[in-house]
Chains A and B, each alone.
Chain A
């Protein structure tokens, strides 16, 4: 399968724990995006990368969130000291220069 893959698909954690999500984009895509989606809402932009450079980070993102894309390939999104409000679906997408987004299936986070 040459689509975008995300891991894990589901994560249940206790408040205060750290979690990390991984995204493997389509290999020839140089842009990679992270979005967050909660029930009844559209995906909310978190951050994006052009190759290994993180070009923008949402102002809504607290400093507990950090994302990396070493070597411009896969990306990780880490959430430190999780809170119940972090419970959501975390979506990764990659994009060629033409702009359309190719999404993974998402990583669902539940914080107890």
Chain B
């Protein structure tokens, strides 16, 4: 069994300040972890992925995430928010062999000017 908990349903930051979106996971297997972004009326897009290589993963648009097995966390960060980062973000855990992916409920990021 696997599950994902996104600890904040809404996060609001000012443009130019750091972003932190928190994600905890549970998995019976050695998981792969992903972050996806969904802009309004757009499809889901992959931001970054962790698949057992380096624990600090770099993605698109300046986002990073760090896999911490001891804390079962995979938090998403960005040093400086941009207005275009405003969107819905989903943390996803996937069983590598079976391939089934489970989504969190999402975090809405608002960026204030």
Contacts and interface: CB of A to CB of B under 8 A. Distances in A.
A99 B32 contact: yes
Chain B, interface residues (CB within 8 Å), range: 20 to 34
Contacts of B96: 99
Nearest to A91: B44
Interface in B40-91: 42-46, 49, 51, 90
A100 B105 contact: no
Nearest to A41: B105
A98 interface: yes
Contacts of A25: none
B25 to A, nearest CB: 13
A60 interface: no
B54 to A, nearest CB: 15
When A and B form their complex, which 10 residue pairs have the shortest distance between CB atoms, in order from nearest? A42-B103, A103-B44, A99-B32, A105-B43, A42-B105, A103-B43, A43-B103, A99-B94, A42-B106, A100-B46
Interface of B: 32, 34, 36, 42-46, 49, 51, 90, 92, 94, 96, 98-106
Given A31-B99, A48-B99, A99-B94, 5 more contacts: A45-B101, A100-B34, A101-B36, A104-B43, A105-B43
16 contacts: A33-B101, A41-B106, A43-B90, A45-B102, A50-B99, A55-B99, A56-B100, A98-B51, A99-B94, A100-B46, A101-B34, A101-B36, A101-B44, A101-B101, A102-B46, A104-B43
